[in-house]
Structure 1
Amino acid sequence: MERVEIGRLGRPYGLSGGLKFRGEPVVLALKRVYLEGLGYRAIAKSENLNQEIVLYLAGVNSRDAAEALVGLRVYTDRAELPRLEEGSYYYFELIGRPVFVDGKPFGEVADMREGPQDLLVIRAQGSSLRARHRTYLVPLQAPYVRVEEGGIHIEAIPGLFD
């Protein structure tokens, strides 16, 4: 059974044990999650409030109990993930993929940022410490970005990597 990371638990929400969730919105469709170091927990309830996800986990009934879980990584079994339509991806599937700019190796996807437009966080490759820590934000849905089997291909436009 393969587990995949789908997010992290954020700050408590309210007084009855709710926790803000940062990660894949697929959590809204799941019945249980695996918490880092604690094992499986049933999702008693989940809500989408003002574009933020709030989870209520079984056995977490107070703000104090929720506080103890802040920052934990949240996983699910790959087999429990709903199938996506062609051309759609879970964020975890993109992280670590190589990135090519105008056909040449450039770096890899280090992270994803959610927002009105999902952004790829690309870490450039290079031999210097500065080059390895430099990141670029690129809109995933841009017409000049293609997700393919071998990696993510970007056609450079003026200013994108300046």
Structure 2
Amino acid sequence: MSEKHDLLLGKITSVFGIKGWVKVFSYTEPMDNLLQYSHWVLTQQGQQQTYKKLDGRRQGKGLVAKLQGIDTPEAAQLLAGAEIRISSESLPALPEGEYYWFQLQGLEVFNQEQKKLGKIDHLMETGANDVLVVKPCEGSIDQQERLVPYLVPSVVLDIDLEAGIMQVDWDADF
């Protein structure tokens, strides 16, 4: 899948200290995975600007970071509320058979009887296992939303990113 995605990984919440550091809320799991990326695209009010991350660490229940060119609390304050994004090309490659959630969103889901159950809208963490939220779409067998456990290989039988299809062992009546 060579399509480039703009992935939201966190946001800048406020200023930290007097040297231009910012407090960061991370959407990554674990939270400090966000600090692995050296260049952040900050999006604010429709504008985007790339910053080099010079340093970062855990601080209390969150993260703090130092960005190149941001050297005062006043400059840091201007970034408060900015979303932190990266290109999907910056993500590390995954082992065969593993996927990022954004790669699964939008796949059409078919059961073993080749009935289209819908499209993957999003995924949920439930503790025991992740769950695919499959919403009806054009050509689906009905207008029912389905929650399908993301269990490989017992429920999820095949994923074809190029074709945009996921094959599942899931009864249409569920």
Q: Which of 82, 96, 119 is 2:106 aligned to?
A: 96
Deviation at 1:135, TM superposition (A): 3.5
Partner of 1:68: 81
Structure 1 segment 13-162 matched on structure 2, within 5 A: 15-16=16-17, 17-23=22-28, 27-36=34-43, 37-43=47-53, 44-45=55-56, 47=58, 54=63, 56=65, 58=67, 59=70, 64-65=77-78, 67-69=80-82, 72=83, 74-78=85-89, 80-102=90-112, 103-114=114-125, 116=127, 117-125=129-137, 131=143, 135-142=145-152, 143-149=154-160, 150=163, 151-156=165-170, 161=174
Give per-residue Cα distances to partners, 1:115-162, cap 9 Å, x unaligned: 5333322112258xx93xx53333323521134214112212598x3x
Q: Distance in 2 between matches of 1:13 and 1:157?
A: 48
TM-score, normalization by structure 2: 0.63
User: Where does residue 13 of structure 2 map in the other structure?
Assistant: 12
State the secondary structure of the residue aligned to 1:92: helix
Unaligned runs of 5+ in 1: none
* Residue identity in the other structure for 2:122: D
Query: What SS does the corresponding residue of 2:102 show, helix, strand or coil?
Result: helix
Compared with structure 1, are the counterparts of its residues 29 and 109 closer, same or farther at alpha carbon in structure 2 (3 Å cutoff)?
same
Question: In 2, are the aligned partners of 1:7 and 1:23 still within 8 Å (CA)?
Answer: no
In the alignment, structure 2 segments of 5+ residues that lack a partner are: none
Deviations 1:1-39 (A, max 9, x none): 964232253573784522212257664432112233322
Task: Give the SS at the match of 2:98.
Answer: coil
Task: Please give the alpha-carbon distance, in whole angstroms, between the structure 2 residues aligned to 1:77 and 1:158.
Answer: 33
CA RMSD of aligned residues (A): 3.8
Q: Which has the larger radius of gyration?
A: 2
Work out the CA distance in 2 between the residues paired with 1:24 and 1:2: 23
Q: 1:107 to 1:40 in 2, by over 3 A?
A: same
TM-score (structure 1 length as normaliser): 0.67
The 3 A distance-change label for structure 1 pair 66 and 34 is closer
Count of residue pairs the alignment pairs up = 151
8 Å contact kept, 1:144–1:154: yes
> Which residue identity does 1:34 align to in structure 2?
V
Cα pair distance change 1:38/1:84, threshold 3 Å: same
Q: Deviations over 1:41-66 (max 9, x none)?
A: 2233254987xx74635138768455
